[in-house]
Amino acid sequence: MEYKFLGNTGVSVSELCFGTMSFGGIADEETSAKMFHHCREAGINFFDCANV
């Protein structure tokens, strides 16, 4: 995974972001946890959880 610095904060974020808004269905808690852990194992640390 490649990372970029977030402005001048010194915080390093993954270039890939995992969006958590639904795509026409809702994932249960177990499925959501599995997706989160797969992302973290892949090095993703940037999650979009905006409810828009």
Contacts for 17-21 with beta carbons within 8 Å, 24 or more apart? 17/44, 17/46, 17/47, 17/48, 18/44, 18/46, 18/47, 18/48, 19/48, 20/47, 20/48, 20/49, 21/48, 21/50, 21/51, 21/52
What confidence score (pLDDT) does residue 25 get? Answer: 81
What confidence score (pLDDT) does residue 23 get? Answer: 73
pLDDT in tens, the chain (52 residues): 999 999 999 999 999 999 988 777 888 999 999 999 999 999 999 999 888 7
CA distances from 18 to 7, 8, 22 (A): 19, 22, 12
What confidence score (pLDDT) does residue 16 get? Answer: 97
Token pair listed for 16: 């890939």
